[in-house]
Structures are given as structure tokens and as C-alpha cells.
Amino acid sequence: MTAAIDKEIHYGFMPGCSFSSYHPEAVIKTAAYLDSVLPKFSAVLKCCGKPTRDMGQYDLFKERFAGLISDLEDVDIEEMIFACPNCKAVFEKESSVKSYSLWEILPLTGLPKELRGKAKDSDMVFTIHDSCSARHDKETQDGIRWILRELGYQYVESAYSREKTKCCGYGGMVNPVNPGLTKKVMQRRAETLENRPAVTYCSTCRSALMQAGLRAWHILDLIWGPVVYAQDEPKPDILQTPADVWHNRYVTRKGLSEALGIK
């Protein structure tokens, strides 16, 4: 990433399917903030196709992904910003579209002034779960840690962070095929985090850690939500409730349309 945002570029923002399912309000606030600091901006609510590709249905994936790229071209989106590390990894492998993580963009735009240092009096000490797909994405990893410091939160690194991170258990669509193995991997990952409260930047990773018994927050929970203290509990694991998942996707789409003035 360059040292500054290019004001002439039309950026698109994809929050990802799972985060749209988990926290509509945070998606809407993030998009509205990006819209306020990027002169040319659009939000994109489509699936990157990774689950289809991971299940071996590559022809179907290529068809769906080509449709997504066509949609970006139709509205003249030139470069993409992703909240989901998996979406970013898919675009980097499957397309020529320049791609960034939200977590490397926010240090360039800065956080809203009223959020800086908001958690300076918090007694919470987090650890960080880095996603598998961001294992070698130093800009994303650095950005997450910058955000925590900018908010005022304390954190400690685990023995298995950054390039040494461990899978949360959901990688590679293992769960539909072997849920028992998924549960074992979830539990092993929780143990490597020493049962500390964790920050993630993938909502599916957050779900996995919570299923393993950890308290886990998505980084956008910390940006847009109330200050978290040591005794606090995270939001429920909505991704385990299909009815809530689909309702939240509808709320996200409706809220984004209103926030960005789309009729």
C-alpha cells in the first residue's frame, strides 16, 4: 500500500458474507465512514465464492466469480478494500484487481477522532488471533495492532501469532465434511491462546473461538461498540443461528442502501 489514499481511485468495499451476517451495524458504520473519506466509493454485497472453490466446484466458482468481476466493472470500481481476509486472498489469487485489507487502509485514513483513545482506561488485556489467510499479510497484521493501540487497548502476543498462527478450525470447509475434526482444531487453537480474551478480524474465526469456550471480539466490535472491560462478555455467536444470519444479511443490505443514499 502507498503512504496515502489515491483520491482519484474508485474504491469498492466488501465486508464479506460472514461479517454481514454477524454485525450489520458495524458494516453500515464502516461503509459510511469510508464513504466520508474516499471521494469515489461503493459498497459491494456479494460472495467472493471461496466456499464453492474450497469444495472443489471450481467451474461453478469461476462462473460466479466472473459475475462478481463483471459487476465491479459495470460500476467502474478500480480497486477493492476487504474486511474479510479470505475475500482478499481470493481476489489476489483469482483476479488482477488491486486489493487491500480494511486493516491496512484505516491506518492511512485514520480512525474517527472521537474513537481515538476511547479505551485508554480499560483494564482488558487481549490476545490476537491472526487468520490463516493473513498468515503472511504483514500489512494487515500491523494494521490490526495499530488499531488496538489507537483505541487504547492493551494486548499481548501469543506464541502462535502472525506467520505462526494456527487455524481456527473452519479452514478449507472441513466442518461440513468432518465436524468432529473441526471441534478438535477449535479446541487446540483456543489452548494455544491460553484462554485469553481474543481479538479477531474474521467473524468466522470469532465464532470458532467462542465455540471453543473463549471470549472473542471482532476488531470492528471494538471500533464501533462500547469500551470493553475485563469482566465484559462479547456479543452472542449469531453465526450459529441460521435465522439470525439471514435476517442480518437483509438488515445489512437495507442499512447500507440508506447510509449510502441508494434508492
pLDDT of residue 3: 58
Q: What is the pTM of this model?
A: 0.93
Q: What percent of the chain has pLDDT over 70?
A: 98
Beta bridge partners, 154, equal 125
215, 192 contact by CB (below 8 A): no
Residue 1's pLDDT band, with cuts at 50, 70 and 90, is very low
166: buried, middle or exposed (CB in 10 Å: 19+, 13-18, 0-12)? Answer: buried
Q: Are residues 249 and 226 in the same domain?
A: no
Give the lowest-confidence range in 36-50, 126-140, 161-175, 182-196. 161-175
**CB count, 10 Å around CB of 236?**
11
pLDDT at 2 over 70: no
- Coil, strand, or helix at residue 216? strand
Q: What percent of the chain has pLDDT over 90?
A: 86
| Structural domain includes residue 133 | yes
pLDDT of residue 168: 92
Domain count, the chain: 2
| Per-residue pLDDT tens digits for 150-209 | 999 999 999 999 999 999 987 777 777 788 888 999 999 999 999 899 999 999 999 999
| Structural domain includes residue 204 | yes
| Structural domain includes residue 1 | no
Host domain of residue 232 = 114-238
**CB count, 10 Å around CB of 25?**
14
Using alpha carbons, select from 151, 130, 143 the residue that is nearest to residue 227: 151
Q: Are residues 92 and 204 in the same domain?
A: no
- Range 108-134 average pLDDT: 96
| Structural domain includes residue 142 | yes
C-alpha cell belonging to residue 39: 471521494
